[in-house]
Amino acid sequence: MALSAGSLTTKLPPPETPAVSDARQLLGIKGASGTTNIWKLRLQLMKPVTWIPLLWGVICGAAASGQYQWRVPDVLAAAACMVMSGPLLTGYTQTINDYYDREIDAINEPYRPIPSGAIPLTQVKLQIWMLLLGGLAVAYGLDRWAEHTTPVVLFLALGGSFVSFIYSAPPLKLKQNGWIGNYALGASYIALPWWAGQALFGQLTWTTALLTLAYSLAGLGIAVINDFKSVEGDRALGLQSLPVVFGIKKASWISAGMIDIFQLAMVVVLIAIGQHFASVVLILLIIPQITFQDIWLLRDPLAFDVRYQTSAQPFLILGMLVTALAIGHSPLTQVM
């Protein structure tokens, strides 16, 4: 379905089949069907679709360490780090966000488990604690496996969990400010899992830490996309998301600009550290992202947000891996 810049009407999409609607429910995507199955409700609160960047971030960190080996212990450790970063701690983040956003969701997505009354708040609180404690336990176990004298993975898990809490919970509630909240979200999705993967298999350097924090500014642009579906509720409850502050059209340009500018900045970094082939590959991955931004994001982010993310995000995460591999093979980034 295409929408010209000046058109006033669009064709309505065909109604979704029950299978598609059920899949949306399990993944935690807007437009989900209802359910009374407690385990499906718990999974919906954890939003599995949001785990993907975290899982990939761990892979990028392992690649950037330059010391990951394809042997059973390393594979199992990487898998455990992914479980910690994705299902457990991201599941904790998403569940606690739904808990504190239940009034907003009652406006934007009333069918979700909490505003619909499908799951009691006591069960939600229990899930929050189980996911948090489970994630911290895995982090401690990974530090023991890596024989860290300083439990760096546990510290990263604690830091990320704290950021997740203040992102959603009053009085700070970072998401009330579009710039600060979205950057916190972007850093949690890009920098933190990268740091965990790199620290698990090698040494996390200041150079890599700063580069990934810069890369997280591209993640800020991705986080803006999640705000488009919540404009009505955010505006009603006074949350200053970027679509509320700047409007849908300007916010879509801000989102695209942040994603592109800071990936291009990584191209410059790769050239500076002598990774010229990787810089060319990264440019080739950025081109289709810009194309999909024009097709979906900049035309109607409210209607096409899911299509844009599914079409453009694979190129972004492949670009992250290219950058990570280049960093792992550059002696300039393997020193403090």
Residue 20 lies in a domain: no
Q: Which helix (H) or strand (E) holds 28?
A: none
The residue segments making up the domain with residue 240 are: 31-333
Q: Note the pLDDT of residue 41.
A: 93
Half-sphere exposure of 206 toward its Cβ, with a 13 Å CA cutoff? 2
Contact at 8 Å (CB) between 204 and 152?
Answer: yes
Contact at 8 Å (CB) between 264 and 215?
Answer: no
Q: Note the pLDDT of residue 305.
A: 85
Residue 8 lies in a domain: no
CA angle 238–258–3, rounded 5-degree value:
80
Distance of CA 85 to the CA centre of its chain: 11
Q: Note the pLDDT of residue 7.
A: 37
Q: Note the pLDDT of residue 29.
A: 56
Q: Note the pLDDT of residue 257.
A: 95
Q: Which residue ranges of the chain lie beneath pLDDT 50? A: 1-21, 336
Half-sphere exposure of 73 toward its Cβ, with a 13 Å CA cutoff? 6
Q: Note the pLDDT of residue 261.
A: 95
Report the amino acid identity of residue 1: M
As given in the structure block, the two tokens for residue 302 are 């409210």
Q: With H, G, I as helix, E, B as strand and everything else as coil, classify residue 177.
A: strand
| Backbone region of residue 3 per phi and psi (left: phi > 0; alpha: psi in -120 to 50; beta: other values) | beta
Q: Round the CA-based radius of gyration of the chain to a whole number and report it.
A: 20
Average pLDDT across the chain, whole number? 88
Distance of CA 242 to the CA centre of its chain: 17
Residue 2 lies in a domain: no
Residue 48 lies in a domain: yes
Spell out the residues 6+ positions from residue 101 whose beta carbon is closer than 8 angstroms to its own.
168
Residue 155 lies in a domain: yes
Residue 99 lies in a domain: yes
Q: Note the pLDDT of residue 258.
A: 95
Q: What is the DSSP string of 263-307?
A: HHHHHHHHHHTT-HHHHHHHHHHHHHHHHHIIIIITT-HHHHHHH
Count of structural domains, the chain = 1
Residue 23 lies in a domain: no
Residue 14 lies in a domain: no
Residue 240: phi, psi to the nearest 5?
A: -90, 60
Report the amino acid identity of residue 307: R
Q: Note the pLDDT of residue 190.
A: 93
Name residue, tokens 């801000």: 254
CATH code of the domain covering residue 101? 1.10.600
As given in the structure block, the two tokens for residue 184 are 């916190």
Q: Note the pLDDT of residue 9.
A: 37
Contact at 8 Å (CB) between 124 and 96?
Answer: no
CA angle 328–333–336, rounded 5-degree value:
125
